[in-house]
A and B are shown apart, each in its own frame.
Chain A
């Protein structure tokens, strides 16, 4: 009985989501810059061009592989599509201080934020990292991928290119 009722609630909510066909916009949450400034995700912007939003952690090897792979191609991607990568670290107090030195040492040129209380992570339904979203010019989620395997960055840029072709 309890299970049925609970599932009922979930399915009810789901049916709203399906029937409404709404867009999934970027949730508003407060994150921090690497130098400690508090910033609302509402200020994330790329002048109407697509954004790659990538959840990662300093202790997550596939995440580092993904960001490294993108870093190698990033200049080309930016020239071709104007895309911007925003990397959200979910590192907590244990490892959050590793993020700054790691990012510098790798020489990555992305926009970095810290989500130490996992507010944005939860709001976007992210369970494990890496979890990468593509936002269109209206900051709506149009694509997502959980996991990184060598070469899957090609899928990302394909999605982005098809996105900017659309009128």
Chain B
């Protein structure tokens, strides 16, 4: 990764710059008038082995993820670095993270016209279909670029960006170099800044250069992709669309086919006080794009193709989460948020929030090139697909309803139900696995005692005849604001066909918050998913462990 000597050299340069600045008062300013912010995060687990939940063997027992960011700002100048240590990485994170050092380092200058960054940076063009470099520590994703970024804002509303760099690959870099250009113009912000209507147009181009060392195929060394987008906001209406196209890019994820890729995302919404309606649709054909053609899983992604499905926050409705199929997928989502007015029959004294959501994902229609070539044969064009034509294999659906009601100042209830279809063969890549049809119901009761204490009970149930069968879950949480939280959870897989796998996934959590500091202690068995305990949400892998997490911001 970044050689620590370079990190050191970088900081020495800054210090030298401070010391050599001619005016002593200015040098003093560099310290006095500067602003320093940052954070620390450390999570360490002790792993127990448990054959019933088939935990991975952890020979070192203890594993830890640690990082610290520090940002220095003085006038228009910014610098920052991040130290990371994975000793070794927690279960669920890629073992290639093992190691420690300065993983992120940048220098930046920002004024109202220019923004220049050298070193590591994150960036997104439009919705990120052809370029998105981002960081999500909970997911173990960090595909930051190392290189140069320039942003130019010549007019109010016009933003032009250019980047060149190599993406982070754990403690190394991508073999490919990415070049990108993006322009976005908010037309009415430039022409009439008082306008209540907004029209935005934008376009981007991204190209990857990677040497062709393949003995078998003659591969394109420069792979270009283009995207165009437009959006309109007016009087509560919002309409937005982005289309992207990429030249053929035989890669590990598309089985080395010489086919172009394309993707279309369309979203429309209407919002007014008490009502929000969202509709979105997408069509994706062979649009996986990475800064290395050999990369797989979540590594070195340039394209970001988000699922258009509801992101559930309760555990059991989030048990079978959909993942976009970049090689081909058509999907749609409709969601209505409605506030039943206060003091009405259904609304009650404080009003009731209702969310109704429906989403679906299908395959796209792929035709054979000819009678003798099967779809997706390496070294061929793979298949033909008529733009927008939906295939006949269903990947996913989710129909859900959630009601949120405040009964009194003290008592609140959330209740919901969902029906899901989950094509396990496609989404998890288990050929022949039976698709899961699940019905989930849940309720969340929250009762406040006095000014600061609160008791919350969650009850959830998932019923399915497939996969692991039925689940029941109960959570009890007691909090004393603003410092303490304590919770006990049990997820019980009582419906498993194999009676030995009818396991209680229990966990205990204790959290202490004081201003920017948070200390949490947890113990138990956890299955993969998004959990929210004591007010913090994050994604967790499955394990049987006891651990301590500490975080602070300064």
Tally of A-B residue pairs with Cβ under 8 A? 255
Bound together, the chains give a CA A105 to CA B337 distance in angstroms of 6
Residues of B contacting A137 with CB < 8 Å? Answer: none
Residues of B contacting A93 with CB < 8 Å? Answer: 124, 127-128, 132, 304, 306
Chain B: CB-nearest residue to A100: B271
Q: Distance in Å from the Cβ of A105 to the closest Cβ of chain B?
A: 3
A-side interface size class = 35 or more
Residues of B contacting A59 with CB < 8 Å? Answer: 311, 313, 537
Q: Is B338 an interface residue (CB 8 A)?
A: yes
Q: Is B41 an interface residue (CB 8 A)?
A: yes
Write the A15-28 contact mask toward B (1 if CB under 8 angstroms, else 0): 01101101111011
Q: Is A102 an interface residue (CB 8 A)?
A: yes
Contact stretch, chosen from A45-53, A77-85, A117-125: A117-125
Chain B: CB-nearest residue to A117: B124
Residues of A contacting B110 with CB < 8 Å? Answer: 28
Residues of A contacting B278 with CB < 8 Å? Answer: 97-98, 101
Q: Does A151 contact B481, Cβ atoms closer than 8 Å?
A: yes
Given contacts A37-B186, A105-B337, A127-B137, contact A155 B482 (CB under 8 A): yes
Write the B520-539 contact mask toward A (1 if CB under 8 angstroms, else 0): 00000000000010111110
Among A6, A27, A129, chain B packs the most CB atoms within 10 A around the CB of A6
Q: Does A13 contact B36, Cβ atoms closer than 8 Å?
A: yes
Q: Is B81 an interface residue (CB 8 A)?
A: yes
Q: Does B538 contact A128, Cβ atoms closer than 8 Å?
A: yes
Q: Does B337 contact A10, Cβ atoms closer than 8 Å?
A: no
Q: Distance in Å from the Cβ of B317 to the closest Cβ of chain A?
A: 12
Chain B: CB-nearest residue to A144: B516
CB neighbors of A among B110-135 (8 A): 110, 112, 122-124, 127-128, 132, 134-135
Q: Does A27 contact B73, Cβ atoms closer than 8 Å?
A: yes
Q: Is B222 an interface residue (CB 8 A)?
A: no
Contact stretch, chosen from B63-71, B377-385, B392-400, B430-438: B63-71
Given contacts A107-B273, A128-B538, A146-B536, contact A24 B35 (CB under 8 A): yes
Q: Does B335 contact A101, Cβ atoms closer than 8 Å?
A: yes
Residues of A contacting B31 with CB < 8 Å? Answer: 16, 19-20, 22
Q: Is B210 an interface residue (CB 8 A)?
A: no
Q: Does B198 contact A36, Cβ atoms closer than 8 Å?
A: yes
Bound together, the chains give a CA A16 to CA B553 distance in angstroms of 16
Residues of B contacting A35 with CB < 8 Å? Answer: 198, 233, 238
Chain B: CB-nearest residue to A156: B482
Bound together, the chains give a CA A14 to CA B83 distance in angstroms of 13
Bound together, the chains give a CA A34 to CA B11 distance in angstroms of 38
Q: Does B276 contact A104, Cβ atoms closer than 8 Å?
A: yes
Q: Does A24 contact B37, Cβ atoms closer than 8 Å?
A: yes
Q: Does B311 contact A95, Cβ atoms closer than 8 Å?
A: yes
Q: Does A104 contact B537, Cβ atoms closer than 8 Å?
A: no
Bound together, the chains give a CA A12 to CA B72 distance in angstroms of 12
B516's contact among A40, A103, A117, A146, by CB below 8 Å, is which? A146
Contact stretch, chosen from B48-56, B252-260, B287-295, B450-458: B450-458
Bound together, the chains give a CA A14 to CA B538 distance in angstroms of 28
Q: Is B509 an interface residue (CB 8 A)?
A: no
Write the A99-143 contact mask toward B (1 if CB under 8 angstroms, else 0): 011111111000000001111001111111111000000000001
Q: Does B33 contact A6, Cβ atoms closer than 8 Å?
A: no
Bound together, the chains give a CA A119 to CA B453 distance in angstroms of 35
Q: Does A61 contact B313, Cβ atoms closer than 8 Å?
A: yes
Q: Is B515 an interface residue (CB 8 A)?
A: yes
A62's contact among B68, B153, B536, by CB below 8 Å, is which? B536
Given contacts A22-B32, A105-B338, A154-B451, contact A61 B83 (CB under 8 A): no
Given contacts A144-B515, A147-B534, A149-B481, contact A106 B339 (CB under 8 A): yes
Q: Does B538 contact A6, Cβ atoms closer than 8 Å?
A: no
B-side interface size class = 35 or more
Chain A: CB-nearest residue to B33: A22
Q: Is B542 an interface residue (CB 8 A)?
A: no
Q: Distance in Å from the Cβ of A101 to the closest Cβ of chain B?
A: 2
Q: Is A165 an interface residue (CB 8 A)?
A: no
Residues of A contacting B507 with CB < 8 Å? Answer: none
Bound together, the chains give a CA A131 to CA B36 distance in angstroms of 18
Q: Is A164 an interface residue (CB 8 A)?
A: no
Q: Does B35 contact A22, Cβ atoms closer than 8 Å?
A: yes
Residues of A contacting B307 with CB < 8 Å? Answer: 94
Q: Distance in Å from the Cβ of A99 to the closest Cβ of chain B?
A: 9
Chain A: CB-nearest residue to B314: A61
Q: Does B337 contact A126, Cβ atoms closer than 8 Å?
A: no
Bound together, the chains give a CA A144 to CA B554 distance in angstroms of 9
Bound together, the chains give a CA A17 to CA B159 distance in angstroms of 34
Q: Distance in Å from the Cβ of B19 to the closest Cβ of chain A?
A: 13
Residues of B contacting A27 with CB < 8 Å? Answer: 35, 37, 71, 73, 78
Q: Does A150 contact B454, Cβ atoms closer than 8 Å?
A: yes
Bound together, the chains give a CA A145 to CA B7 distance in angstroms of 31
Q: Does B35 contact A105, Cβ atoms closer than 8 Å?
A: no
Residues of A contacting B448 with CB < 8 Å? Answer: 150-151
CB neighbors of A among B258-274 (8 A): 267, 269-274
Residues of B contacting A119 with CB < 8 Å? Answer: 122
Residues of A contacting B127 with CB < 8 Å? Answer: 93
Given contacts A102-B337, A128-B538, contact A20 B34 (CB under 8 A): yes
Q: Which residues of B contact A (CB under 8 A)?
A: 4, 7-8, 11, 31-39, 41, 68-73, 78, 81, 83, 85, 100-102, 110, 112, 122-124, 127-128, 132, 134-135, 137, 153, 157, 159, 186, 189, 198, 200, 231, 233, 236, 238, 240, 267, 269-278, 280, 304, 306-307, 311, 313, 335, 337-339, 351, 353, 355, 446, 448, 451-454, 456, 479-482, 484-485, 511, 513, 515-516, 518, 532, 534-538, 551, 553-554
Q: Can you name 11 A-B residue pairings with CB atoms under 8 Å?
A: A7-B83, A9-B8, A13-B70, A22-B36, A25-B35, A27-B73, A105-B275, A117-B123, A125-B553, A127-B553, A147-B536
Given contacts A12-B11, A94-B306, 15 further A-B contacts (CB under 8 A): A19-B31, A22-B35, A27-B71, A35-B238, A38-B189, A105-B271, A105-B274, A106-B339, A116-B124, A117-B134, A122-B71, A127-B551, A127-B553, A129-B537, A150-B481
The 6 closest A-B pairs by CB, nearest first: A101-B276, A105-B337, A94-B306, A151-B481, A104-B271, A150-B454
